[in-house]
Every structure is written in C-alpha cells, then in structure tokens.
Amino acid sequence: MILSPILSLLAVLGLAPLLPGIANRIKSALTGRRGAPVLQLYWDLAKLWRKGVVYSSTTTVIFRLAPVVLAASTVLAASLLPLDGRRALLSFPGDLVAFAGLLGLGRFLLVLAALDTGSSFEGMGASREVTVATFAEPALFLCFTVLVIATGDLRLEGMLGRPLVAAWPLAAPSLVLAAASLFIVLLAETARVPVDDPLTHLELTMIHEVMVLDHSGPDLALILYAGSVKLALFGSLVVGVLVPRGQLAAPLALGVLVAGLVAIAVLVGIVESVMARLRMNRVPQLLVAATALAGFGLTLLLA
C-alpha cells in the first residue's frame, strides 16, 4: 500500500518541469508565436547541472545552502500531499501547517541568499517576495481552514481525500470559493503574471527572478526545479479541492491529477496572455481579494 504514494510522488516530481513549459507554450500560441519546446525546462536543467558554479566572494555559506534547502523542503512538502487521492507519503494531524512552513522555509533561505549577495537589486526583490508572501499566506491558511471545517479532518490526506468527497454536496460553494482563492495564491507563490512576470528582464520590475540572479550552474537548476515543483504542488491543491478523487482507484486518481495539472498550466498560460502584470502596489490588493473570497467561503460554511 505504501507503493502507491511513492509512485505518485515520483510521477509528479518527474512531470513538474513540464508545467512551466506548457504554460509558456500556451502563452506563445495565444500571442501568435511558436514558442520554446514544451520540454525546454528539462534541457535547461540538464545543461545547468553539467555546468560549474561561480560564487561571489561576498557570499557566505548561506548562499550555497539556500538552493539545496529550497529544493529539499519543496520536495518534502510534496510528500505531505495525497497525490494519488487517498494517501500521502507522510501524514499527521496538522500537517497543513508543516506544508506551509516547509514552503516558507525554502522561501526564507532564498531571501537570505539574495540578501547575502549584497546586491541592491536582489535585496529589493527579496523585500518584494516577502511582501507578496505576507499577503498570500493568510489566504492559504483561510483556504485550509475552509477545508478543515468542511471535512472535519486536520490532515491534508483527509482534507483532500475521502472526507472531501462527502463534504462536496454540503459545502460546494465554499469549496469553489476556496479553490478560486487557492488559484490566486498559486499565481502569487509561483511568480506568474498578475503578480510577477517570469519573462521580464528588467531588475526593477522583477520579484522572484531578481533574487536568483547570482545563482549559477546546479544551484540555479535546483531553484528552477523547486519552482516548477511548487507550481505542481499548488496546482495539486487546486485540482484536489475541485476534483475530489478519494473514491477513485489510485492509478485513475493520479491520471486525473496529471490531467488537472496540465489544465492548470494551460489556465496559467491563458491568464498570462490576457492580463498585464499588476502595478506593484496593486498586488497586495489582489491577494486581499483572495483572502476575502476564502473568508466569504468560511462565512458560508459557518452560517
């Protein structure tokens, strides 16, 4: 029985770099270009992995530690999610806090590494990243609260598993609102368009990209890979809430998840094509809207 969570974790970890490729491909198609191959991130990772690393003389051990901790904590967070619809690799009551905490730990180290370089641009990016995270986290936790109250289970395994199937007929509006809120959090946490533009090359406007300017070689590969896994994680949350898979057989549930993740990537690509990124001072407003949506869902559930 332990095999199924491991296999689905490996499948999601293996397929994660596909998602940014799909999103970028959709974006290219909608703007009339051919675009990079869908597998581009795999080639980039392979290329970066073979390259050497350059460390600035001002950096300390934190700069070298950050990519490793980021990748490890993101993968560990992935093992908390019930990717096959019923069981997670690791599960304990309250693991939703561990999930958010592990992602927060990775971000914290990345921010420290950005500050460690002493570059003023990276410090600016770090400050913005933390600002966005400050507004994204309440929305995330309110969504989790909606799920906890709807399912009566404090474990992610239950919140997204079998109890959710039973909760759907009773709490459908709240769950849809929570999923919408989670999607906005996804866009913010994975640095996609209305919040941050992954393709911008101007340090003044970048948030996430500017923090990783000084990383190179395998370190950069780890950061890019962790970014794609994070997209897969939040995608799994959205898909998990919208399509409860607790009653499906494990392989089928995994198939549905992968199809859902592809759909999320397509949706992200569409959002990126039809929206301009928001002005920096309007980003918190978007995330407060996400919080309000989740709060409305919670109100409906408590009423």
Partner 1 sequence: MRPVHELLLLLVVLTNFWVLGTTRLSATIRAVAIQGVLLAALPLALHPGISAHRLGLAAGTLVVKAVVLPAFLVRAIREAAVRREIEPLIGFSASMLLGAGAVALGFSIAPRLPLPELDTRTLVPVALSTVIIGLLVLTTRSKAVTQVVGYLILENGIYVFGLSQAERVPFLVEVGVLLDIFVGVFIMGIVVFHINREFDSLDSARLTELRD
Interface residues with partner 1 (CB under 8 A)?
169, 172-173, 282, 284-285, 288-289, 291-293, 295-296, 299-300, 302-303
From the CB of 301, what's the least distance to partner 1, in Å? 10
- What secondary structure letter does DSSP report for 259? H
Nearer Cβ to partner 1 (125/284): 284
From the CB of 286, what's the least distance to partner 1, in Å? 8
CB 242 within 8 A of CB 164: no
CB 226 within 8 A of CB 70: yes
Nearer Cβ to partner 1 (12/175): 175
User: Distances from the Cα of 202 to the Cαs of 31, 194, 296, in angstroms?
Assistant: 21, 16, 37
Nearer Cβ to partner 1 (52/169): 169
Chain mean position to CA 3: 25
Chain mean position to CA 182: 10
Phi-psi region of 217 (alpha: psi -120 to 50; beta: other; left: phi over 0): left
From the CB of 283, what's the least distance to partner 1, in Å? 10
Nearer Cβ to partner 1 (175/268): 175
From the CB of 177, what's the least distance to partner 1, in Å? 8
Nearer Cβ to partner 1 (79/181): 181
Nearer Cβ to partner 1 (187/261): 187
From the CB of 173, what's the least distance to partner 1, in Å? 5
Nearer Cβ to partner 1 (35/138): 138
From the CB of 294, what's the least distance to partner 1, in Å? 9
* H-helix or E-strand spanning residue 54: none
Q: Pull the structure tokens for residue 292.
A: 């309000």
From the CB of 221, what's the least distance to partner 1, in Å? 37
The C-alpha torsion from 137 through 141 and 146 to 152, rounded to 10°, is: 160
d(CA 180, CA 297): 10
From the CB of 175, what's the least distance to partner 1, in Å? 12
Phi, psi (degrees; rounded to nearest 5) at 47? -65, -50
Nearer Cβ to partner 1 (24/291): 291
d(CA 194, CA 192): 6
Task: Give the residue from 256, 259, 231 showing the smallest Cα distance to 16.
Answer: 231
Q: How big is the chain by its Cα radius of gyration, in Å?
A: 19
| Residue recorded with tokens 């990775």 | 106
